[in-house]
Amino acid sequence: MRMARTAIETGDLSVDEPGGTDAVLARGLSKALGSGVRRVEAVRGIDLAVHRGEIFGFLGPNGAGKTTTLRMLTTLLPIDAGTALVGGVDVARSPEEARRRIGYVGQLGGADQQATGRENLVLQARLCGMSGAEARRRADEVIEQLELREFASRFARTYSGGQRRRLEVGLGIVHRPEVLFLDEPTTGLDPQNRANLWDEVRALRAAGTTVFLTTHYLEEADSLADRIAIIDGGRIVAEGTPTELKRGLGSASIVIETGLGDGALEALRRELEGQPLVTAVGAAGRSLRVEVTDGAAALQPIAAAISARGVPLEALSLSTPSLDDVFLHLTGRSLRDPGTEAGSTPTGGAR
Ligand SMILES: Nc1ncnc2c1ncn2[C@@H]1O[C@H](COP(=O)(O)OP(=O)(O)OP(=O)(O)O)[C@@H](O)[C@H]1O
Ligand SMILES: [Mg+2]
């Protein structure tokens, strides 16, 4: 779960290292929002290192501090304490220079609905300082790259959710940023559009762009991100590749569905509890859920114990930890719980 030794650990944040591996480097990043009783410590001393050319997933529940962090990293919100470098440039000291390296697609999006997709892109390119001809050329390139062709000549207000998101990503990359920040890029999209956007994000990585995206979708972080940081209550609670994070949990569960009645099921439950590698066994209906430290190693002896008892077996399955299990383990809550308002508590709160 540990990240590679970076400037965070060496304490060397002041050196501009264009050839370095960190596209984003933050240390002790903090932000309080609101005032008086409404004051919220939204981000509480975050350390982050995003490697060049990777897709980095910033995962956390509603109110965890994802957007606040992103807005600090992208110069949109002043930093209270700590340091942030993007592409080696200090965002507080050299915001203009940092902005040239940054693409940002906000949670609410920012396309002009009364203009066509192409017009939006040309305007964005002009705002980035390109000449008219250059801007039109760049707009066409982005239209090709993100496959916006079929709707680029329509007013943005006529776009579907997925089309709108793709245009917004296009607006974020017009100036060829080193690092593209996407705040919840697929929220509200149907599975098909979500998968399309994932493909676009992977294509951007293949073209050399570092992508930093926030999400509260576990599947998105798991399948799209090369590495993940999990944020909760303004603090990073874990960082690593999805595999590392899940392996770090070191456990799995075996679900056994039987045709047994209560008494026999309880007897089997007690027997399995005594098996090596088993940490807990829970019963629900006619099935047992066996928590084990090593799924692959425990499966065989458990199957043997069941078979020795002549238990009528209906199904047996092994499930390895998910990122939700990781989150549950670290915070005691599930990311899947609807309405989990795991946001920061006001200053002086219980957290
Ligand atoms: N302007 C503000 N004034 C006071 N509190 C704020 C303000 N903006 C955000 N907050 C609070 O700061 C905390 C972090 O908010 P933030 O928007 O960063 O969360 P998030 O992780 O992006 O959540 P979501 O998944 O809902 O987008 C939340 O508790 C939020 O209510
Ligand atoms: Mg947010």
Cα(182) to centroid(ligand 1), Å: 16
Instruction: Summarize pLDDT for 66-96 with one digit per residue, the tens.
Output: 999 999 999 999 999 999 999 999 999 999 9
* pLDDT at residue 185 is higher than 80: yes
Mean pLDDT of the chain: 87
Cα(138) to centroid(ligand 1), Å: 35
Q: In the chain, pLDDT over 70 holds for what percent of residues?
A: 89
Q: What are the residue ranges spanned by the domains of the chain? A: 7-101+177-244, 251-320
* pLDDT at residue 16 is higher than 60: no
| pLDDT, position 247 | 79
What sections of the chain are H helices per DSSP? Answer: 7-10, 66-73, 95-100, 117-127, 132-145, 161-173, 191-206, 218-224, 242-249, 262-273, 295-309, 323-331
Which residues have a Cβ under 8 Å from the Cβ of 223 and sit 6 or more positions away?
198
| pLDDT, position 11 | 47
Instruction: Name all residues whose Cβ lies below 6 A of ligand 1.
Output: 33-34, 38, 40, 42, 60, 62-68, 107, 216, 343-344
Instruction: Summarize pLDDT for 221-242 with one digit per residue, the tens.
Output: 999 999 999 999 999 999 999 9
Q: CATH says 251-320 is which class?
A: alpha beta
Cα(33) to centroid(ligand 2), Å: 14
Among all bound ligands, the one having the nearest atom to the CA of 215 is 1
Mean per-residue pLDDT, 302-318:
90
Cα(214) to centroid(ligand 1), Å: 13
| pLDDT, position 321 | 83
| pLDDT, position 338 | 53
Same fold, 7-101+177-244 and 251-320: no
In total, the chain counts a number of residues equal to: 351
Provide the edge-to-edge strand list for the sheet that holds 235-240.
Answer: 102-105, 179-183, 210-215, 55-59, 227-232, 235-240
Instruction: Summarize pLDDT for 283-293 with one digit per residue, the tens.
Output: 888 899 898 98
| pLDDT, position 337 | 59
Q: Which atom of ligand 1 lies nearest, measured to the CA of 107? A: 27
Q: In the chain, pLDDT over 90 holds for what percent of residues?
A: 62
What is the pTM for the complete model shown?
0.80
With cut-offs at 50, 70 and 90, classify the pLDDT of residue 259. Answer: confident
Q: How far apart are the first and last CA of the chain?
A: 24
| pLDDT, position 82 | 97
Sign (positive or negative) of CA dihedral 155, 157, 159, 165: positive
Q: Which atom of ligand 1 lies nearest, measured to the CA of 71? A: 18
| pLDDT, position 20 | 59
| pLDDT, position 121 | 97
Q: Which atom of ligand 1 lies nearest, measured to the CA of 43? A: 14
With cut-offs at 50, 70 and 90, classify the pLDDT of residue 15. Answer: very low
List the residue whose alpha carbon is closest to atom 16 of ligand 1: 65
| pLDDT, position 95 | 95
Mean per-residue pLDDT, 38-65:
95
Q: What's the CATH number for 7-101+177-244?
A: 3.40.50.300
Q: Which atom of ligand 1 lies nearest, measured to the CA of 64? A: 21
Cα(60) to centroid(ligand 1), Å: 12
Q: How many C-alpha atoms does 315 have within 13 Å on its Cβ side? A: 8
List the residue whose alpha carbon is closest to atom 10 of ligand 1: 33
